[in-house]
Amino acid sequence: MNDNAPRQSAPERRQEEPHDRHEATGCLLRLYWMLLGNALVALFAYRIAERGGTITALDVFFWLGAASLVIARYVDVRFLGGKTAEGEPATMKHWQRYSLHVLALSVVLWLVVHGLGYFIR
């Protein structure tokens, strides 16, 4: 080991770790609310239509999936320095608009798949 090499003291290393974790967590949450969570909700919607549109446990999972999108976005914006899909800093106004869109689209999608389910049967 080279004694002349600059060393990082233990407190400095600990300060970097939470920042890295927040960045990684924020990235995973963004991936969830932009892509994976929407795919999950779409999958439940497909399964609801496939089952004939009757109310089942799939409906609970559909709504939990939609709620998880809103919660993930909130945590991202409020606690992890969230960004918009374009990479700009997100605000609570972005979260409010996103929440309203998710709610409106989820209601429409849910009604459509239930309607389709009755026609498919």
pLDDT at 12: 52
Q: Which residue in 32, 30, 34, 57 sits closest to 44, CA to CA? A: 57
pLDDT at 9: 53
Rounded CA gap, 45 and 63, in Å? Answer: 10
Per-residue pLDDT averaged across 8-35, rounded? 74
Per-residue pLDDT averaged across 98-102, rounded? 98
Q: Categorize the per-residue pLDDT at 53 as very low, low, confident or very high, splitting at 50, 70 and 90.
A: confident
DSSP 3-state of 41: helix
Per-residue pLDDT averaged across 86-102, rounded? 96
Tokens 């919660």 found at: 71
Q: Which residue in 111, 89, 108 sits closest to 100, CA to CA? A: 108
> Which residues contact residue 94 at a Cβ distance below 8 angstroms, ignoring those fewer than 6 apart?
77, 82, 84
Tokens of 53: 């549109």
pLDDT at 52: 86
Phi, psi at residue 83, to the nearest 5°?
Answer: -125, 160
At what angle are helices 10-31 and 57-79 packed, to 10 degrees? 140
